[in-house]
Structure 1
Amino acid sequence: MNIDSQTDEFRHVQTAHCENGVTTALLRYHGMDFMTEPLAFGMGSGLFYIQIPFLTVNNGPAISFRTMPGAIFKRTCKSLGVDVTRKKFSNVAAAEAFLDHKVREGVPVGCQVGVFHLTYFPKEYRFHFNAHNLIVFGQEDSNYLISDPVMEDVTTLSKSDLSRVRFAQGPLAPKGHIYFPERVKPVTDDVIRKGIVKGIRRNVRDMLKIPGNFAGVDGIRHTAGHIRKWRDKLGLKKASLYLGQIVRMQEEIGTGGGGFRFLYGAFLEEASAYMQDERLSVISEDFTKAGDMWRASAIKMAGVYKGRLTEQKDFDEIADMLIDIRAVEKEAFQKLSRLNLGN
């Protein structure tokens, strides 16, 4: 079977974020044509913020603007009554054998991989980040057919290249992680509405009520406090690298940043139509505003990273911008918490 005929059976979906795209494409493959990237992201309660204590990534602070890898797919499928199979492996040969078995069955599967050795990625985008997601949906000669949602079209990986990224080392090592939906049943609008409500309530909890000061909206304030101290504590060079790391996590690596705020706003727009509740559409504007503010803060941080801005007042202004973002996101989630959306 050639790549064109296999592509006819599996439809590639290009999206802003990899796990949203894998979720959307796999569920559409199983007949859920209503699924969109914003809906998957919102039902999966994907929006988040955390500065992970005692962990660094690429020699900088470990910051994520989204929930834990894998949670969006798991939560969205659960809300829709879809059973999911997930496997990790300690043995490369066993992981390859299981993947080959699913490919022979004609079952598209999601895989968690490391980005650094993805041969089809431009070199400037190959970072040590192990929570990227793609779909393997077939084989052509000795190559696997790959649907990577952040790419415009389908591509291929050799067996050795795919195994290398499936067993990348370091934080969030994928360990051959493979996952796919099973036993998919028809989904009614009522099921979708219940999934929307559950997703919103869980996201409210995650952003407003998680204990501690390093996650949710309080995590944004936590990072702002660090930024104020970095110049004196670390020196200008290292502090600049730390800010550059935040920009990378926000704008380039799959942790989302401002783009996820825009995506959550789009989810609330879709939710408004499903729920026939215009209040959700109004609140979506708050998340669009937050997205704009995150993008503005990234521009300011990039100015420090590139050496154009060097004074303590620049670090203070960036911290102030994050405090303002926190206020907008906190108010938006408080508005959502006060809505009576039913069961």
Structure 2
Amino acid sequence: MDTDLRIEEFNHVQTAHCENGVTTALLRYHGLDFMTEPLAFGMGSGLFYIQIPFLTINNGPAISFRTMPGAIFKRTCKSLGVEVSRKKFSDPAKAQSFLNQKINEGVPVGCQVGVFHLTYFPKEYRFHFNAHNLIVYGREENNYLISDPIMEDVTSLSPEELSRVRFAQGPLAPKGHIYFPEKVGIITDDLIRKGIVKGIKRNVRDMLNIPGSFAGVDGIRHTSNQIRKWRDKLGLKKASLYLGQIVRMQEEIGTGGGGFRFLYAAFLEESAAWLKDDRLMGVSEDFTKAGDLWRASAIKMAGVYKGRLTEQKDFEEIADMLLNIRSVEKEAFQRLAKLNLGK
């Protein structure tokens, strides 16, 4: 790379979650100034829960509080009629060549990366998690200019550092995944409203009607049942590590947890204004309550993980807290279903 190039019109956007932030910033760059993080999250039907069977991450249960990586960007763009391009690579050199091509064209791009080797991350946040998202928006002095939405300001990575995180190994390996809006048409208020309604209805379906016991509100009950058994089945030490893993997935890694419930509450508030439907405000309060309950459960789990709480009754109380959360979220989504939005 022998020239510096910075996309001057690109504005860094700090958000609570990486994929929401990448989606928001890229769409704003392409002129969609109305886009916010809650709107991107809700139109992309980002709220979810799943305990993935037979998969462990960091030697603990694989739990996610959000939809599959990449789905928020894909769904939000599709709802607005925005054409997107996505590519994966087996060859790091070809991945870098394509990235350079887009930068030379003045196109900021989203990249999926692993966080374990992200040099600008504090060490305590560097887990083996491969579904982080950031934006590359230029290069300077042989470094790539990085807009990571969860960081306060922009940063940079060397070509070697960026290639290493783009080709991190393990579950959800990114394989050089790169994505960006290709073509943006005319976005009308009616199109935005239709996208909001579609996002809500899809989220209702995903949380209430997915078959099986591992996903949606039933997935929360499944995890509750598991927690009741862990102390006797795994022993206190391993059971404590498993609870610590849930807290990490909930509060520290990009799978969301309680924070995503607050974000969905904010989405419903914005939706009430777009749709001129104040009924959504009441449901918004339900998701704020769910977020508070998730945070309270994380505090209790952390108490076990840190050795302050050691009895079976503590595991039972945590399991009961999750059943309460399931009840709140199930009723909230049932309320959304009954609103008959878009009719």
1:13 equivalent to 2:30? Answer no
CA distance in 2, matches of 1:153, 1:296: 30
Distance in 2 between residues matched to 1:315 and 1:322, nearest whole Å: 11
Per the alignment, in what secondary structure is the counterpart of residue 221 of structure 2?
helix
Q: CA–CA distance in 2 between the matches of 1:139 and 1:215?
A: 41
Q: Report the alpha carbon displacement of residue 186 of structure 1 after superposing the two structures with TM.
A: 2.2
* Separation in 2, partners of 1:237, 1:340: 48
The aligned counterpart of 1:26 is 26
1:120-159 map, 5 Å: 120-159=120-159
Residue in 2 that maps onto 1:256: 256
1:313 maps to a residue whose letter is K
Q: Distance in 2 between matches of 1:267 and 1:99?
A: 33
- SS of 1:61's partner is strand
**Which structure 2 residue ranges, 5 or more long, are not aligned?**
none
Deviation at 1:205, TM superposition (A): 0.3
Matching of residue 49 in structure 1 with residue 88 in structure 2: no
Deviations 1:242-283 (A, max 9, x none): 000000000000000000000000000000000000001110
Please give the alpha-carbon distance, in whole angstroms, between the structure 2 residues aligned to 1:2 and 1:88.
25
> Identity percentage over the alignment?
83
1:191-215 deviations in Å (ceiling 9; x for gaps) = 0000000000000000000000000
Aligned to 2:209: 209
Paired with 2:185 and 2:165, the residues of 1 have a C-alpha distance of: 33
Pairwise CA distance, 1:183: 1.1
CA drift of 1:2 comes to 6.5
Deviation at 1:34, TM superposition (A): 0.1
1:79 is displaced (CA, Å) by: 0.2
Partner residue, 1:308: 308
Question: Where does residue 238 of structure 1 map in the other structure?
Answer: 238
Aligned to 2:156, what secondary structure does the other structure show? strand
The equivalent of 1:288 in structure 2 is 288
Report the TM-score when normalising by structure 1: 0.98
Unaligned 5+ residue runs, structure 1? Answer: none
**Post-superposition shift, 1:8?**
3.9
Deviation readout 1:210-229 (Å, 9 max, x if unpaired): 00000000000000000000
Deviations 1:60-91, CA, capped at 9 Å, x for gaps = 00000000000000000000000000000011
Matched residues in 1 for 2:19 and 2:115: separation?
A: 14
CA–CA distance in structure 1, aligned partners of residues 186 and 91 of structure 2: 36
Q: In the aligned structure 1, how far is the partner of 2:10 from the partner of 2:37?
A: 17
The 2-side partners of 1:207 and 1:71 are apart by: 15
Query: What amino acid sits opposite 2:284 in the alignment?
Result: S
TM-superposition CA deviations, 1:125-144 (whole Å, max 9, x none): 00000000000000001000
Q: Which residue is equivalent to 1:73?
A: 73
Q: How does 1:59-138 map to 2 (within 5 A)?
A: 59-138=59-138
Spell out, residue by residue over 1:23-75, the C-alpha distance to the aligned partner (whole angstroms, 9 max, x if none).
Answer: 00000000000000000000000000000000000000000000000000000
**What is the deviation of 1:7?**
6.3
Moved over 2 A (4+): none
Which amino acid letter does the alignment assign opposite residue 124 of structure 1?
E
Whichever residue aligns with residue 40 of structure 1, its letter is A
Q: Quote the Cα distance in structure 1 between the aligned partners of 2:186 and 2:291.
A: 35
Equivalence for 2:163:
163
Looking at structure 1, the residues matched to 14 and 313 of structure 2 have their Cα atoms a distance apart, in angstroms, of: 41
Report what 1:183 is aligned to.
Answer: 183
Provide the C-alpha distance between the structure 2 equivalents of 1:305 and 1:340, rounded to a whole number of angstroms.
43
Measured in 2, the distance between the counterparts of 1:329 and 1:339 equals 16
Name the aligned partner's letter for residue 246 of structure 1.
I
Whether the 8 Å contact between 2:7 and 2:108 is mirrored in structure 1 is no
The answer to whether structure 1 residue 337 and structure 2 residue 337 are counterparts is yes
Within 5 Å, which residues of 2 pair with 1:220-239? Answer: 220-239=220-239
> TM-score normalized by structure 2?
0.98
